[in-house]
Amino acid sequence: MTQPTTPERRIFSGIKPTGRLTLGNHLGALRRFVDLQHEVRCLFSVVDLHALTVDHDPARLRALTREAATLYLAAGLDPSVCVLFRQGDVPLHAELSYLLECTAHVGELGRMIQYKEKGRDRPQTRVSLFTYPVLMAADILAYRATEVPVGDDQRQHVELARDLAARFNRTYGPVLVVPEMTPAPVAARVMDLQDPTRKMSKEGPDDALGAIRLLDPPDVVRRKVLRAVTDSGAHVRYDVQTQPGVANLLDILGGCTGENDLHALAERYSSYGSLKRDVADAVIALLTPLQKRYADLAANAGEVDAVLRRGAEQAIEIAAPTLTDAKRAMGLGG
């Protein structure tokens, strides 16, 4: 396939500030990023433009964006090693997105599951919800990322980014790097505590019982865990099919403590109550240092501002050549 001579490994990932971050975001993504940043060139973005695709409140969006960026830092992302920025601070995402819209087809966007579920057939749907996957492709392709670590729900979007990059290169010449999706390990999927067949989501009401927020105080974490839905069976067993609630608690416990053998872990418990108590303790132990760092950072707003400003400058520096090449290849400019 024609593409520019591949640069070194480079990772891009984004998080949409549409809700307060959860334990699922930490165990499934953030924590991995903290390790990855030392192995690979990494760019992480709080993709605020994507939060405009559905009804939103401007003040809440600004607060959620800032909270997410601060949590990334609190979790251990090191701005001297990786690039952390707000998407809205880097204008060329929207510009490259337009060029890619001129590469994408209405048919393929109409097949996107999220659009079909959330927007199609509703006249008031924002146009941006339809074009959203193209903007996501621009996020990735602008940085010539080689890898995109995302959850399985984003697979179709990463596939589209790959298709658009390949089509662009075939049509206009080798400008874009075709990225690979690097899926999260299965055990990293944290399910909703009230409905363990659904992924724990940051969206939904702030006080939803099924989602542990990274900034929940210990008593709130404990209450949510103790009220988690289990099953009617009496035994603690790791069986996702028949005991999804208990399996999720074991996943969380293993995720927090590093224990990988969940069947062995299950054998140590004779009651749901004692399992829940240990889960609550483990989550609180994981979140306490993160919350402490968050409080320190939040008290020093200038520091977060400076990180984001610097991050946006670095992002622009990395992405600008891609945009220049793409424009030239398409016939823009002199």
Q: How far is the CB of 296 from ligand TRP (least distance, A)?
A: 28
Q: Of 148, 164, 178, 307, which lies in the binding site for ligand TRP, with binding defined by CB under 6 A?
A: 148
Tokens of 102: 């001129």
Residues 134 and 94 sit within 8 Å (Cβ to Cβ): no
Least distance in Å: CB of 253 to ligand TRP? 25
Q: In terms of residues, how long is the chain? A: 334
**Which residue among 27, 34, 47, 100 contacts ligand TRP (CB under 6 A)?**
47
Residue 182 vs 257, nearer CB to ligand TRP: 182
Exactly one of 199, 224, 292, 327 is catalytic; which is it?
199
Paired with 150 in beta bridges are 183
Q: Which position has the token pair 């939060």? A: 51
Instruction: Confirm whether 202 is a catalytic residue.
Output: yes
Is residue 140 near ligand TRP by the rule CB under 6 A? yes
Please identify which residue in 10, 11, 16, 176 interacts with ligand TRP, judged by CB under 6 A. 16
* DSSP result, 113-181: HHHHHHTTT-TTS-HHHHHHHHHHHHHHHHTT-SEEEE-GGGHHHHHHHHHHHHHHHHHH-S-S--PEE
φ/ψ of 86, rounded to 5, equals -90, 130
Cβ proximity to ligand TRP, 27 vs 150, nearer residue: 150
Which residue in 202, 224, 276, 327 is the catalytic one? 202
E strands present in the chain: 10-15, 41-46, 83-86, 147-150, 180-183
Is residue 99 near ligand TRP by the rule CB under 6 A? Answer: no
Assess whether 224 carries a catalytic annotation: no
Selected binder of ligand TRP within 10, 11, 14, 323 (CB under 6 A): 14
Question: What is the pattern of x (binds ligand TRP, CB under 6 A) and - over residues 154-173?
Answer: x--x----------------
Q: Which C-beta is closer to ligand TRP: that of 140 or that of 193? A: 140
Binding of ligand TRP at residue 146 (CB under 6 A)? no
Q: What does the CA dihedral 159, 162, 164, 165 come to, rounded to 10 degrees?
A: 170
Q: Count CA atoms closer than 13 A to 123's CA, side-chain side.
A: 0
Residue 13 binds to ligand TRP (criterion: CB under 6 A): yes
Segment interacting with ligand TRP, rule: CB under 6 A, options 10-18, 96-104, 206-214, 285-293: 10-18
User: What b/e string do you get for 148-170 counting C-beta neighbours within 10 Å, with b at 16 or more?
Assistant: bbbeeebeebbebbbbbbebbbe
Q: Which residue is nearest to ligand TRP (CB)?
A: 14
Q: Could you list the active site residues?
A: 118, 199, 202
Binding residues for ligand TRP (CB under 6 A): 12-14, 16, 47, 50, 136, 139-140, 148, 150, 154, 157
